[in-house]
Amino acid sequence: MTTKNSRYYKPANLIRVLRKIHRTIAIFLFAFFLVVYVSGLLLGWKKNSGGLILPPSATGISKDLKTWLPIDSLRGIAVKALHDSVSAGLSDELERIDARPQKGMVKFVFADDYWEIQLDGTTGKVLLVERRRSDIIENIHDGTILDVLFNTENDQFKLSYTTIMGLSLLMLTISGFWLWYGPKRLRKQKRIAQ
């Protein structure tokens, strides 16, 4: 024999369990969610920061790739500019080369210390030497900063961090929905039963 309130026990119990899970995740990961929020907000504004977060793209003299210097020559100029303008002790290892024919410019982004050198593709003139704060913020946002600090291979910290944060956010979304919807459903069932 079932009592009048027994049909409400399971949904109410589920809501209590979900509230506990929701609260526990939020308490333990609050600081991490705050970091993701702030860094994500900064990354969203990087192109509109007036060069504070992301260096502006300079413009070279020619969009015609036929007039450009060879990439290896431009790389040599960028490495020299890095060592002369920033520090002779910095590594010349590149993270990427970003050619912008429409701007007549090439960006050399170095793997260590987040430096960028922009060169005119035709003359090799140094257009800009700037630190890429956006890359630092991105590494904080996705957890790569720990792999950089501990010099790990295969992005172990990044993969763990993004998995934990992604699953936690999914769980907060699901439990949050049920914490909102569950009581409405219970009230509706009680009204129908009366």
Mean pLDDT of 72-93: 96
Does the predicted TM-score (pTM) go above 0.85?
Answer: no
Q: Do the beta carbons of residue 117 and residue 128 sit within 8 Å?
A: yes
- Residue 61 located in a structural domain: yes
- Last residue of a domain, which of 106, 131, 156? 131
- Residue 40 located in a structural domain: yes
Q: b/e string for 77-95 if b means 16 or more Cβ within 10 A?
A: bbbebbeeebeeeeeeeee
Distance, in Å, from the CA atom of 126 to the CA atom of 28, rounded to the nearest integer, reads 47
DSSP H/E element including 118:
strand 115-120
Count of domains in the chain? 2
Q: Decide: residue 29, CB within 10 A, 0-12 exposed, 13-18 middle, 19+ buried.
A: middle
Confidence of residue 62 (pLDDT cuts 50, 70, 90): very high
Residues 14, 67 within the same domain: no
pLDDT digits (tens, 9 = 90+) for 14-52: 889 999 999 999 999 999 999 999 999 999 999 999 999
Residues 123, 63 within the same domain: yes
- Residue 170 located in a structural domain: yes
- Domain span at residue 167? 6-46+140-193
